[in-house]
């Protein structure tokens, strides 16, 4: 599946949540469906990704680690592992099998998560 498929999936998830909120008002449901005909931007993906990362954070904290969401650019997710994760030989596994896995399950199976080295937060385009 492509990133475009992921965006379609997210669009449907967001639309379903909005419809649940107004399900008794058929006119509002019709309006929501009409307005939903657009693609997600990186900006729109950010909040979904932030929410999932917030759910991952307690797992990392159990071992003294943390994670900082940096940005979403071209549908790539940039994060920074913190605390005990810095310098840990298992940090690559944590990134792939905890962070990336959860984001792929919740959003799309082809998402890529990139750990941003300290000092590179303003140079994400160089990491692509």
**pLDDT at residue number 96:** 93
Residue indicated by tokens 């950010």: 46
Q: Is the pLDDT of residue 5 over 90?
A: no
CATH for 42-127 (3.30.300.130, 3.50.50.60, 2.60.120.260, 3.40.1360.10): 3.30.300.130
Residue indicated by tokens 């140079």: 123
pTM of the model: 0.69
Q: Tell me what the mean pLDDT of segment 91-110 comes to.
A: 88
Note the pLDDT tens digit of each residue in 31-79.
766 666 545 678 878 888 999 999 999 999 999 999 999 999 887 899 9
CATH 3.30.300.130, the chain: domain bounds: 42-127
């Amino acid at each position: 599946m492509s990133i475009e498929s992921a965006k379609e999936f997210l669009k449907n998830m967001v639309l379903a949540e909005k419809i649940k909120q107004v399900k008794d008002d058929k006119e509002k449901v019709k309006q929501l469906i009409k307005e939903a005909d657009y693609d997600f931007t990186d900006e729109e993906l950010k909040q979904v990704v932030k929410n999932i990362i917030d759910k991952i954070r307690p797992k990392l904290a159990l071992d003294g680690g943390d994670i900082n969401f940096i940005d979403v650019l071209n549908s790539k997710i940039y994060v920074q592992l913190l605390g005990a994760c810095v310098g840990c030989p298992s940090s690559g596994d944590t990134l792939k099998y905890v962070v990336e896995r959860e984001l792929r399950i919740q959003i799309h199976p082809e998402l890529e998560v990139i750990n941003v080295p300290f000092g590179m937060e303003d140079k994400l385009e160089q990491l692509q």
